[in-house]
Structure formats: C-alpha cells, structure tokens
Amino acid sequence: MRAATVLASLVTSALSLVLLAAPAQAASTVDYVALGDSYSSGVGAPGQSGTCLRSNNSYAAQWAARNSPASFQFLACGGAVTDDIVNTQAPAMRSGADLVSITIGGNDAGFAPTVITCLTSSDSTCAAKVESGKAYVRNTLPGKLDAAYRAIRAKAPDARVVVLSYPLIFDTSSLFCEMSVAKRRSLNSGAQALDDMIRSRAEAIGFVYSEVRDEFSGHGVCSSRPYLNGLTVIPPQNSYHPNTNGYTYGYLPALTSSAS
C-alpha cells in the first residue's frame, strides 16, 4: 500500500514537472482582414447572410476559426470589383493589419455575363465572349488591380497580403456536362488568362500570390467530386462558385500555406 502511494506521488510530481516545462500556447497576435469578392465572402457554401452574402464556411472565416487571430475583419462582399476595394473595403480596414487575403478581378473581367453567354449560345459565340474578356484582362484590368493593391498597401503597409487565384472551373475530361467540352475549355482559358494577370500585378507590388489550381485539380464542375457548384437555380448566385469542400480543401489550404 505504501509502495503504491509513493509510486502515485512520483508519477504526480513527474507529470507536474512536464506540465510546468511545456510552453503555454501563445495567443495569436495577428490582425487578419479578408477582402475581396464572392469567392472570398463564401458564396456557393451554406450560411450566406446579409447583402454581401458572407458565410462562416468561407475560407476566410474558417481560417479565423482555426487560428484565433487577435482580430478578424470580414470585409469581402459578393459582387465586388476592384473599385470597391479602393472606395469601400480598403478604407474600412483598421490600421495595423498583419495579414490580408483577397480574391478580386473576376467581376471586372465579366465573369457572370460570360458564363451566361456560354450557357445560352453556341460554342463560337462563347469563345468570342471569352476572347473579349481576355482583351479586357490584357488592356484594362492591370491598372484596376494596381489601384486596388495600392489602396491595400497604403492602409496596411506592413501586412502580409495573400492574393488568391481563381480555380479552373470546369473538368474537361467528362463528355457529359451542362456545357460542351469546347465551351468548358474556352472558359478555363479565360480563367487562366485572368490568373496570370493577377499574379503579375500582385508580385509587382510585392504581395504573395497563392495559386489554387492544384487544390482544385480533378474537382471542377462535372467531375465526380466537384469542389464547385454547377448551374444552381436556388439560390442562383451559387452557380460556378466553390461549395463547402472547395473552400475547405481548396482555398483554405492555399491561404494557410501562404499566411506566414
């Protein structure tokens, strides 16, 4: 009995020493701001609310929930364009942000009307609409992106700014889909051109560009395990946006790997 008591005392003492020696987990001191459009606000996932359609299933809200930043400003808004970053979102940022994430540029380039055209017209009309969008990306979008990025840098000069890409929306290996293979290839080529320009302008100002194509590879619309919604009637805004898996296994890892 005495031996058991001594043994218990030794175990308790040893455990106390281990606990005292183990460093306490430091509280996060990161001030995080999520800017951008519907791909950052969480459109496509459940739980959207408000006029900006923000969801706790977005990659931004998930990152905040997992990392417990000192503060979290969720300013991303469905439908946002680069002018909204300059005029609304960047001015609303609190000074002193340490980490900023953003997706922007898709709405400037006419993402929604291009997809609608491709859904409702011929392969050639779809391809022409995509080429028109590429011309905008080459000629006009660079200045728009530069202005948005400068506004962020002016408000958060010391922040690590992670600019996330858009995925290639469609799987092109399946013969059966809501769009022809030709249309899917056209739209993917438009997304590629957009991402290339976003990367160029983000890196020019010194931001971190984080590509999501690898995470979404094999999970496009019409694949067997899509990370994006196809054409959605209710609610219609979910069409061609990431689903919960897209935000959790696509965007969240891309942000996490680039956040520090």
pLDDT, average across residues 103-128: 97
pLDDT for 8: 39
Looking at residue 180, its pLDDT comes to 97
Q: Is the pLDDT at 15 greater than 90, yes or no?
A: no
117 domain-assigned = yes
Token pair 């970053």 is found at 85
Residue 104 and residue 80 in contact, taking contact as beta carbons nearer than 8 Å:
yes
| CATH for 70 | 3.40.50.1110
pTM recorded for the entire structure: 0.88
Whether 9 maps to a domain, the answer reads: no
pLDDT digit string (tens) for 156-215? 999 999 999 999 999 999 989 999 999 999 999 999 999 999 999 999 999 999 999 999
For residue range 70-111, what is the model confidence (pLDDT) as tens digits?
999 999 999 999 999 999 999 999 989 999 999 999 999 999
Does a structural domain hold residue 193? yes
Domain for residue 4, yes or no?
A: no
pLDDT class of 117 with cuts at 50, 70, 90: very high
pLDDT of residue 26: 41
Q: How high does pLDDT run on average in the chain?
A: 91
For residues 135-167, one letter each, b for 16 or more C-beta atoms within 10 angstroms of the residue's C-beta and e for the rest, the string is: ebbeeebbebbeebbebbbebbeebbbbbbbbb
202 domain-assigned: yes
d(CA 190, CA 166): 11
pLDDT at 11 over 80: no
Comparison of pLDDT for 96 and 43, the residue scoring more: 43
pLDDT at position 158: 96
- At 28, the pLDDT band (50, 70, 90 cuts) reads confident
**Cα–Cα distance measured from residue 137 to residue 105, given in angstroms and rounded to the nearest whole number:** 9
* 5 assigned to some structural domain: no
In angstroms, the CA 151 to CA 82 distance is 10
Residue 3: per-residue pLDDT: 40
The residues assigned a catalytic role are: 38, 241
Determine the average pLDDT of the residues in 228-247. 97
In whole angstroms, what is the distance from residue 6 CA to residue 16 CA? Answer: 15
DSSP-derived 3-state class of residue 164: strand
pLDDT for the residue 25: 34
Domain count, the chain: 1
CA distance 14 to 76: 50
Structural domain boundaries, residue 96: 28-258
Percent of the chain with pLDDT over 70: 90
Q: Quick one: pLDDT band at residue 43, thresholds 50, 70, 90?
A: very high
pLDDT band at 9; cut points 50, 70, 90: very low
Please check whether residue 13 lies inside any domain of the structure.
no
Q: Is residue 7 part of a domain?
A: no
Structure-token match 């999520």, residue found: 34
Confidence (pLDDT) at 136: 98
